[in-house]
Amino acid sequence: MNQRIGNRDEVGLDTFGKVTNHTMAGRQVFDLIGQIVPFSQALIVSTLPRGSVYPVQASYKTSETFLRAYGKDFHKEDRVVWQAIMRNQLARATELWSAADLVYSPFHHGLLHPHGLRHVLGAPLAGPVLDGYPGAVLLYRTEDDGDFTDAEMRKLQNIGREVDEFISKGRQARNTELAMNTDPWTHTAELRHFIFNSNAKPVFPKKDLDLDERVHEQLLQHARQAIETTRRGQIYTDRLLLPDVRGDLWVFHCVVFREFPALGQGAFVFFTLQPESFEWVTVRPADISADPEMVRLLPTLKFMQQEFHRNPTLDEISKKAHLSPFHFHRRFTDLIGMTPKHFLLSCQIHEAQRLLASRRRELAQIATDCGFAHQSHFTSRFKQATGLTPTRWRRMAAEIVRSGGK
């Protein structure tokens, strides 16, 4: 168990507020939490654009076998993390499983017990890696440590908010340093992760989806289609381009789980609004240190963001991850939620949108500057990606700016 530091009864949540170095690693965050309540192991998990939740940071005692097992199978069994996220409040394992389940459930019998753990507490996080993709802090204890008490729960009542504020300040500092700004026409929402059950009913978020009305309606339609396709034993498409009321396309990644016990019985459909390409540039290895494969891909994301104008080849890009082109393509698609080709195109399109909105260059020059062969090629690919021609999109962006981003 983490070493006691001073008198825990005198340590409050303002511990985070006293820290000025917002580039610190997640393990240091766990050390600060350890000053409030003791624990044996800890994780920070995030939904990310691939659906479900996966470990992104871990305390120093958390083994690689535990992380691999959680990410491969047991994320679908973890009631604690999903109740914490869906209710936006602390969740404790002993309140979610019966006494028998605490011994014989797949999550406890297959994951916790082999690693000497018994008790779990989860605190929701708004966006541990990227804004809009919720997650949680998970604290674990052994049988001998005992369960998290009501008094400790009260101490941790606001821990998720404190960690969120801490992470957000660090992210804002990096955005400022890299001159990253969200333009008014960027597709975003407070939450960018949406879940539907086998009846195509929204499970998360419980409130109305913070989306364009037309996009909202199409998500409901695709949820029904995905469930029906799964029932027939077929695989549903994993990439959706949905036009909004202006005809502008929103890109979603779709994942269908035939079973997801943590949420209930039957199939569940996960839709994630894809991050803008530039958002990945602000992600540091420390943000996802528990996922070495993701860490390995970060240089390729930044390389494509910097070199999209010259259309680097798959072979060039894969070398940045020290992987073969075939293996790199497969792992990139699985982990990022889109192919390298789509990510490279998103880099080109984002820069083209920025130049179109500035109205300082002609279409032919924008095509050249963004790595397209010629203007007609640019127009074709731009319309394919956004649903609008460059000229129509430029008018739309001007209208959005005039209306204050609405």
Residue pLDDT, tens place only, 218-267: 999 999 999 999 999 888 888 999 999 999 999 999 999 999 999 999 99
How far is residue 305's CA from residue 312's CA, in Å, rounded to a whole number?
A: 11
Q: Same domain for 269 and 295?
A: no
Q: Say what the pLDDT of residue 406 is.
A: 63
> For residue 18, what pLDDT is reported?
53
For the CA atoms of 69, 256, 299, 25, what is the dihedral angle to 10 degrees?
A: -50
With a cut of 60, say whether residue 139 has pLDDT above it. Answer: yes
Model's pTM, two decimal places?
Answer: 0.89
- Shared domain check, 143 and 50: yes
SS3 120: strand
Which tokens hold the place of 124?
A: 């929701």
The answer to whether residue 159 sits within a structural domain is: yes
What single letter denotes the amino acid at residue 186?
A: T
In this predicted structure, what is the pLDDT of residue 174?
A: 76
Helix, coil or strand: residue 242 = strand
Residue-range definition of the domain harbouring residue 236: 193-274
Q: How many domains does the chain have?
A: 3
How much is the average pLDDT of 34-48? Answer: 93
Q: Three-state DSSP class for 123?
A: strand
Q: Are residues 201 and 350 in the same domain?
A: no
Domain containing residue 334: CATH number: 1.10.10.60
Banded pLDDT at 2 (limits 50, 70, 90): very low
* Residue at 186 is within a domain: no
Question: Are residue 77 and residue 128 in the same domain, yes or no?
Answer: yes
DSSP-derived secondary structure letter, 264: B
Position 65 in a domain: yes
Clarify whether residues 18 and 135 are in a common domain: yes
Nearest-angstrom CA–CA distance, 54 and 73:
10
| pLDDT digit string, tens, across residues 16-31 | 555 545 444 567 789 8
Give helix then strand counts, H and E, for the chain: 15, 10
Are 369 and 317 found together in one domain? yes
Q: Which uninterrupted H or E stretch holds 284?
A: none
- Same domain flag for 150 and 41: yes
The per-residue pLDDT for 166 is: 84
In a domain, 286, yes or no: no
Same domain, 52 and 169: yes
Each residue's pLDDT tens digit, 142-181: 999 999 999 999 999 999 988 888 888 877 777 766 666 7
Choose one of 147, 176, 205: the last residue of a domain: 176
Q: Are residues 169 and 28 in the same domain?
A: yes
- pLDDT tens-digit series, residues 295-311: 999 999 999 999 999 99
The mean pLDDT value of the chain amounts to 89
pLDDT higher at 257 or 14: 257
In a domain, 282, yes or no: no
Give dist(CA 72, CA 293) in Å, integer.
13
For residues 34 and 152, state if they share a domain. Answer: yes
Residue 315 located in a structural domain: yes
What pLDDT sits at residue 20?
A: 46
For residue 164, what is the domain's CATH number? Answer: 3.30.450.40
Query: What strands lie across the sheet with 91-92, from one edge to the other?
Result: 54-58, 41-46, 135-141, 119-125, 91-92
Instruction: Answer yes or no: do 171 and 254 share one domain.
Output: no
Mean of the pLDDT values across residues 368-390? 96
On whether residue 188 sits in a domain, the answer given is no
For 91-102, how does the pLDDT look when each residue is reduced to its tens digit (9 = 90+)? 999 999 888 888
Which of 241, 274, 307 is where one domain is finished? 274
Q: Tell whether 121 and 236 lie within a shared domain.
A: no
> For residue 283, is it within any domain?
no
- Indicate the range of 86-90, 188-192, 212-216 predicted with least confidence: 188-192
